[in-house]
A and B are shown apart, each in its own frame.
Chain A
Amino acid sequence: MSSRRDTAERLRRLMATEGDAVAQNTRTVNQLSDYAIQGFDDYEDLRDAAREIKESAIEHLPELIDEVTEAVEANGGQVHVAQTAADANRIVESIMADREAEKLVKSKSMTTEEIDVNDHLEDEGYEVVETDLGEYVIQIADEAPSHLIGPAMHRTPEDIADLFNSEFDLAEDLSGDPNELTEFARERVGKHIREADVGMTGANFVVAESGTLMLVTNEGNARKTAVTPDTHVAVAGIEKLVPSLADLQPFTELIARTGTGQDITSYVSLLTPPVDSPIPDFEADEMRPADDRAFHLVLLDNGRMGMREDDDLRETLYCIRCGACSNACSNFQAVGGHGFGGETYTGGIGTGWEAGVHDLDSAGEMNDLCTGCSRCEPKCPVEIDIPWINTVVRDRINHQGEGDDFDFLVEGLTPDEEPAGLDLQKRLFGNVETLAKVGSLAPGLSNAVAGSRAGKWVLEQAFGVDPRRDLPEFADETLREWYGARGAQVSDPDRDVVLYPDVYTDYFDPDRGKAAVRVLEALGVRVHIPAVPESGRAPISQGMIDTARDQAEAVHGALVTHIDDGRDVVVIEPSDLAMFRRDYEHLLPERSAERLAENTYDVLEYAYGLLDNGADGDALDVPGDDGDAGVAYHSHCQQRTMDVDEYTESVLSDLGYSVRTSDVECCGMAGSFGYKSEYYEVSMDVGEHLHDDLGDIEERALVASGTSCQEQLDVLYEREVPHPVELIAPQ
């Protein structure tokens, strides 16, 4: 694994060279995809259906392989099951030799990137030409694809023109006009297709009962590649199999909406090869009969059967490689797939693929760029829990770690369940609660040390905390100390709730906790603030699953008696709410997880519910003469994924505030991510985008729900950014 400094340098370089093109392209497609999904009522139903089809197909994979083999052979084609990339390449090479072929044209296929078939064939003396224009560009540039479906999305038209101008001896240089570039590439590629002996495609899906391939494309190159040469070789991962033609319907309606933001692509080819089309022989200028067609389906295992047996990686096999998770990812938008990518695959789901078909090292290069913000999840057409896959892979990498000189020291200080070799930076951030407890014993001293040059030097050298960040400062009095002295101030409560004292609110920012207490009391609720452990968010974000599980069990133990007593649990910090509502399903027995999920609420979601049920909101602070009616609100990423951000907006609007919201997926801070020296600049790049998106908010109050969003916005706007509950708390 490269050093933090090398990583920072590599990402800085990528942001400088490819960042602008990647940002523009991913954000545009992400927005188009939002529109396409919003306008499609069947989206959630079809995702459920798609998920079920994939789950069942992977479960029955061995039978489907037998079935498709029979179907393809009955159609007159051949099926080859390749255990490894090398097997697949040998099979393709022998097909080339048998057909006495010299030139192979290819349509876009990540699976063929996975096996590096181009390199293999070229080493054996064959000519290979990519026909997708993006792939054609990166083939000439000798680069890896930077995105699952937009392989050259990191390049601007001007870059591409420069590339073509230096590669080809042109009478007149190309200018960078996309129309001109497209025409130029089309002519070149078109000639190769007409001359080719073999056409190679991938497959988005393979129908076992009929041997039908589904190819989803816009350019038309896959159609030409499949039908023009007399020999068609399709290379597909075994996970592409579905039982029947009817199973393709949900995917036909989903894949473009999530992938490109179209309702449907220009072409969805349903080919049952060998096809009946005559073979155009451009050289002899005659049509040859379709009987001369040959078809080979190469089904690639290359680790997939192992993934199928792996309870945590199995979901990866449901992926239809639409790339939506990349476009929705703030970090991907900043660095692109050459940063957020492994040997072959890119983006959030890429980690699962790399770990499954390559190895943990390849997955490790990209894994930490997933902050678990979860914004990819609603965009995944097959409902894959992509953050969880990244967490599991991180946990496995942690357990692979080597020893370190500091281990004896830290091992004694930290209470976690993780191995001795764990990266110290992860151990620091994963054990934030212990640190907070120690630090708050003498808050003044801790703040002075952490803020001092010497303190920052130690934090950077030993733990990779970027010195350009200020760590949050300990409050003089914790929320629980304050509340213990103050006590409940509701005499005849309508309800009793537990206010969850998250580490940040309790130790660093008790003001937002006090505001939450005042709001709840104003709405007739009696508040209890018992001692409850850290939710496990801190360790889970570092891939410390065993530690997170211990925390989850302890939290459950601390809260369940309150829930038994009829108390709801109100949560200020969205990332902790996301633990209770979503992540605990991975950590606790099903019933325990459900119990917590059903009884925990975001603080303003709860306020909304109380107001909606007739609570008197007169005591809440409404916009007054002090000109605070205008509010800019950045909701927390995980809050959005849980669809609870809308309650904050509603409460504020109903009280008379005029609310402007941000559209960016994440603030860039994402818990500990923005503190890490290797990622500080990525974090700031993402933050700048949020700054641009919010625009001029000089006249508005700026509020944010998440701790780390507040910290990031503090820096970006150089002003204190409170939680929205502080805005409406009775004065």
Chain B
Amino acid sequence: MSSESLSTFESSVPGPVHRTTAADADATLSEAIEEPAVGTALPYDEVSLADAVDTDPSPSALETAATGVTPAALGIADYGTVTIPSGAAGDELVSLYTPRHVAVVAASDIVPDMPTAYERLGEDFAAGMDTQILATGPSATADMGTLVQGVHGPSETHVVVLEDR
């Protein structure tokens, strides 16, 4: 990842971007999270979710949570997109059912553009991580006459970038 990609990514993401480091991740996450929160484990060295974040939520916990936190496999700078791999831990549900989604992405996983993203997706898919959502900003509809954000998916999205990961 180049610093150029990171700054492009930061300006393209529709919603708040929190730059942080592994050491400060706890503090940054607690800023981005509104409780009650649900989440799936973060795969980054020396970064974990606070105990308050329910990582084994029941359907009702899922429905009542204010925030869902998941890792993102990729950030795509040109589009401000993150990709959410959805595995057995329930990332898809956590990132979908809560009104606020916080995606955590390593700076090293930010790629400049869509062709590069698809190269990485190809590798991921071959390795079995073969369901991913390219998510860009909140859910939205124009079906009721004007643009409304927050429909069946989150109304608010945050991205936390781990600059040293």
Name A's B-contacting residues (CB within 8 A): 25, 131-134, 137, 150-152, 156-157, 160, 176, 178-179, 181-182, 185-186, 189-190, 193-194, 210, 212, 218-221, 223-224, 227, 245-246, 248-249, 252-253, 260, 263-273, 275-278, 280-282, 285-287, 290
**CB pair B59 A266 closer than 8 Å:** no
Contact bitstring B112-134, A, C-beta under 8 A = 1, else 0: 00110111011001000011111
B86 beta carbon closer than 8 Å to chain A: yes
Sample of 20 A–B contacts (CB below 8 Å): A132-B143, A150-B143, A179-B148, A181-B144, A218-B139, A224-B96, A245-B121, A246-B119, A249-B115, A252-B134, A267-B139, A268-B134, A271-B131, A275-B92, A276-B86, A277-B88, A277-B131, A286-B58, A286-B59, A287-B57
**CB pair B125 A267 closer than 8 Å:** no
Q: Which of B57, B117, B136 contacts A266, CB < 8 Å?
A: B136
**CB pair A212 B125 closer than 8 Å:** yes
Supposing A133-B151, A264-B79 touch, asked if A276 and B138 sit within 8 A by C-beta, the answer is no
Q: Which residues of A contact B134 (CB under 8 A)?
A: 252, 264, 267-270
Closest 9 CB pairs of A and B: A220-B153, A157-B145, A134-B143, A220-B152, A220-B139, A272-B130, A268-B134, A178-B144, A280-B59
Chain A interface helix/strand/loop/mixed: mixed
Distance to closest chain A CB from B48 (angstroms): 21
**CB pair A285 B81 closer than 8 Å:** no
Q: Which of A160, A223, A265 contacts B96, CB < 8 Å?
A: A223
Distance to closest chain B CB from A136 (angstroms): 8
**CB pair B144 A133 closer than 8 Å:** yes
B147's closest neighbor in chain A, by CB? A178
Q: Which of B62, B88, B114, B148 contacts A276, CB < 8 Å?
A: B88
Q: Which of A218, A277, A281 contacts B140, CB < 8 Å?
A: A218
A268's closest neighbor in chain B, by CB? B134
**CB pair B152 A131 closer than 8 Å:** yes
Q: Which residues of B contact A266 (CB under 8 A)?
A: 135-140, 153
**CB pair B144 A220 closer than 8 Å:** no
Give Cα distance in the complex from A176 to B139, angstroms. 21
Q: Which residues of B contact A270 (CB under 8 A)?
A: 121, 125, 130-134
Q: Which residues of B contact A190 (CB under 8 A)?
A: 152
Q: Which residues of B contact A249 (CB under 8 A)?
A: 114-115, 117-118
Q: Beyond A133-B144, A268-B134, A277-B91: 5 further Cβ-contacts under 8 Å?
A: A212-B130, A219-B152, A223-B92, A264-B134, A276-B86
B90 beta carbon closer than 8 Å to chain A: yes
Give Cα distance in the complex from A286 to B90, angstroms. 13
**CB pair B96 A227 closer than 8 Å:** yes
Give Cα distance in the complex from A634 to B5, angstroms. 43
Q: Which of A134, A181, A275, A287 contacts B58, CB < 8 Å?
A: A287
Supposing A182-B151, A266-B137, A277-B92 touch, asked if A137 and B143 sit within 8 A by C-beta, the answer is yes
Supposing A137-B143, A282-B60, A285-B59 touch, asked if A221 and B151 sit within 8 A by C-beta, the answer is yes
**CB pair B153 A227 closer than 8 Å:** no
Q: Which residues of B contact A186 (CB under 8 A)?
A: 151-152
Q: Which residues of A contact B154 (CB under 8 A)?
A: 220
**CB pair B144 A160 closer than 8 Å:** yes
Q: Which residues of B contact A156 (CB under 8 A)?
A: 145
Q: Which residues of A contact B27 (CB under 8 A)?
A: none
Q: Which of B57, B97, B136, B138 contacts A264, CB < 8 Å?
A: B136
Supposing A190-B152, A223-B96 touch, asked if A285 and B86 sit within 8 A by C-beta, the answer is no
Residues of B71-123 at the interface with A, using a CB-CB cut-off of 8 Å, are: 79, 81, 86-88, 90-93, 96-97, 114-115, 117-119, 121-122
Distance to closest chain A CB from B165 (angstroms): 24
Q: Which residues of A contact B93 (CB under 8 A)?
A: 227, 277-278, 280
Q: Which of B86, B117, B122 has the most CB of A within 10 A?
A: B86
**CB pair A160 B118 closer than 8 Å:** no
Q: Which of B81, B122, B138, B150 contacts A246, CB < 8 Å?
A: B122
